[in-house]
Structure 1
Amino acid sequence: MYTNNQGLGSALLGAIVALALLVTPTVAIDTTNVAFVQTHAGTTSIPIGHAEFCQSRPDECRPNAQIVPSIALTETLWLQLLHVNAQVNATVVPVTDQDLYQVTEFWTYPNGYGDCEDYVLAKRRELINAGWPASTLLIAVVKQANGEGHAVLMARTDRGDLVLDNQVGSIDLWSATPYQFIKRQSQANAGQWVDMIDNREVVVATAGIN
């Protein structure tokens, strides 16, 4: 696991300026902009780990009472994203499900240890508890440059889809990450998933999956 908590002030300024160049805030956000991941119509298969998680925690996998397409990214909310991402990355020790639970796949909240999905669940819970609409915090399954699977949290803001990742300390636009985006939670229903459309040529190598 790699985290980088230094220079948050300069990182904040640089990221806000960079993101502002991509999407100009308006009353109605155009989510067809390249800053947002596009999705296919209809639902797709739910990852087995999340399906089992939903069976044990059905209250967390229901239709969202209020569907907020995106949240306005204020400086306060940006700092909140940075804080939650850095805190969870720093406090959870990366361990595979096989080593921790003796199973191939098991999604749960970390108890000091966990793999990529557990980091994502913890970050999503922290941000929802802080007031973020659930429909703007989406678990996503991606493929790394080495072909291995990975999970990240996508925050849908008026500046685009931002990625919170346990493998890096920065928070980046989805299009600036080295992953191929496969599918994510539906904004309408936390227990349903949709396929993502990612036609980029991803060539940047990344660290191994935790």
Structure 2
Amino acid sequence: MVAIAALVLTASKSVASERVMYASLGETARAPIGWVEFCSENPTECPNGTSQARDVVMSQTAWKDLVRVNRYVNETIKPITDAEHWGVIEKWSLPTDGYGDCEDYVLLKRKLLIDAGWPREALLITVVRDKKGDGHAVLTVKSDKGEFVLDNQNEDIVAWTETGYRFVKRQSQSDPNTWVALGDARPAIATASAPRR
């Protein structure tokens, strides 16, 4: 609880100083094959078409929702590799049997938040290189107080700049089937006079 209060306080100070950091977006990138196959098997989870990019207003209620969903999924789903689970190297799926790897955790967190009324445009599946250099997936939540990461390797929700990960690519806010590169390690800073990226 202290960590949540500290993060909300930090986020509030950030807004007060009008410096909120967002990942710098690059060119269009190739969607992960796991996403493409998941969408062909679950078309209702991958709506076609574009929409207006929207950020979440990070209120205390919204923060509590994120913490609840992150904790629930991390505690409920048991980790297993796709090779052990499905006999293939890569398969993205909703973990309906209680087992999954990082992408499956992300898909379930995203679904639970969308089902609770969160805008899809603010919930972005993101591919990173973790601290060991391995490929990993996290859920980036884009908000008015910056971008926060829900991760099965970390019980705490942290700002993207605090993960220690190298961000590779993620879904576009305007179209979940379009992915954008995140090759620039320097964050974009939004100010009151500049539009957010």
Q: TM-score normalised to the size of structure 2?
A: 0.88
Runs of 5+ consecutive residues of structure 1 not aligned to the other structure: 1-8, 27-32, 201-210
Q: 1:93 to 1:71 in 2, by over 3 A?
A: same
Deviation at 1:72, TM superposition (A): 0.6
Tell me the distance in 2 between the aligned counterparts of 1:24 and 1:151: 31
RMSD over aligned Cα, in angstroms? 1.7
Give the fraction of aligned pairs with identical amino acids, expressed as a percent. 42
Deviation at 1:64, TM superposition (A): 5.8
Deviation at 1:69, TM superposition (A): 2.5
- Tell me the alpha carbon deviations over residues 15-47 of structure 1, each in whole angstroms, 9 at most, x when there is no partner: 101122223498xxxxxx652111014x21010
2:118 matched to 1:132?
yes
Q: 1:34 to 1:16 in 2, by over 3 A?
A: closer
Contact 1:124–1:137, Cα closer than 8 Å, also in 2:
yes
Aligned residue in 2 for 1:197: 183
- Tell me the alpha carbon deviations over residues 119-172 of structure 1, each in whole angstroms, 9 at most, x when there is no partner: 000000000011100000000000012211000000001010100000111000
SS of the equivalent of 1:38 reads coil
Aligned residue in 2 for 1:84: 69
Q: TM-score normalised to the size of structure 1?
A: 0.83
Aligned residue in 2 for 1:74: 59
Contact 1:88–1:123, Cα closer than 8 Å, also in 2:
yes
Counterpart pick for 1:22 among 14, 19, 29? 14
Tell me the distance in 2 between the aligned counterparts of 1:56 and 1:159: 35
Tell me the distance in 2 between the aligned counterparts of 1:34 and 1:73: 12
For structure 1, which segment, 61-70 or 164-173, has the greater mean C-alpha deviation from structure 2 after superposition? 61-70
Aligned residue in 2 for 1:49: 34
Runs of 5+ consecutive residues of structure 2 not aligned to the other structure: 187-197
* Higher share in strand: 2
Tell me the distance in 2 between the aligned counterparts of 1:146 and 1:60: 31
